[in-house]
Amino acid sequence: MIMDAQLLFTGNNTGGVTPSYVDLITSTGNSTNVIDLHIVAPPGVPVLASGQGARDMGIGDDPALKILVQCCGTFAGGTSLIVTLQGSPDNGSGAPLGFNTWYASPTVVLASLLPGVRIMDMDVPRPPPGQPMPRFFRLAYTVAGGPFTSTGTAAGPNSWLAATFVVDRFDQPFQGSLHDQFVGGYPPGVVIAN
């Protein structure tokens, strides 16, 4: 899996035990980072129109750009979480015009918010009908029954999510009861008759 620090939706290292590549999710809100597809510094990326910098990132090439939102801790205190991908065009001055919802994950209940669980695991979609080409992307987190609680230590519940665009995502299924235990393909002991 290829990751890039400039494509992280999350990342909020305040000097505590939280890893720098995750967001501590306690209540409804937006991802720490907004991804800007228009890089101004040389060599830069060509723009479609003056001040726009929009891109259709869901062109479906192989390998396709993918979204990965994964639990990095055990959540406690809330009842469920929904993660929403949002896109926005440029307002003409290099800032978001207003974010529109592109895709929402299924509702993930508290019992399923475990280390390694992938909440949003998909190719970057094309713009939905009627939505403009985006320059900016962000994630929105909807917490129900919250807030989620966190002890702030690596040993206790830490409602951490890692969220990013990736290339060549690691897609082998897991075999253990938790998603971070045993990676493999088929379970052992499969007999194939000749």
Count the Cβ atoms, other than its own, within 10 Å of residue 114: 16
DSSP state of 186: S
pLDDT of residue 84: 95
pLDDT of residue 50: 47
pLDDT of residue 13: 52
2-167 carries CATH number 2.60.120.1110 = yes
**What whole-number distance in Å separates Cα of residue 194 and Cα of residue 191?**
10
pLDDT of residue 80: 93
**What whole-number distance in Å separates Cα of residue 106 and Cα of residue 10?**
20
Q: Is the pTM of this model over 0.85?
A: no
Mind spelling out the 3-state secondary structure of 96-147? ECCCEEEEECCCEEHHHCCCCCEEEEEECCCCCCCCCCCCEEEEEEEEECCC
φ/ψ of 55, rounded to 5, equals: -145, 145
DSSP state of 181: S
Q: On the CB side of 3, how many CA atoms lie within 13 Å of its CA?
A: 13
DSSP state of 49: S
Q: Give SS3 for 3.
A: strand
pLDDT of residue 33: 87
pLDDT of residue 106: 92
Return the domain boundaries, the chain.
Answer: 2-167
Nearest to 55 by CA among 7, 14, 5: 7
Cβ contacts of 108 within 8 Å, gap of 6 or more: 80, 81, 82, 117, 119
Averaged pLDDT in 10-residue chunks for the chain of 194 residues:
70 58 84 79 51 59 80 86 91 85 92 86 84 88 86 63 78 54 58 73
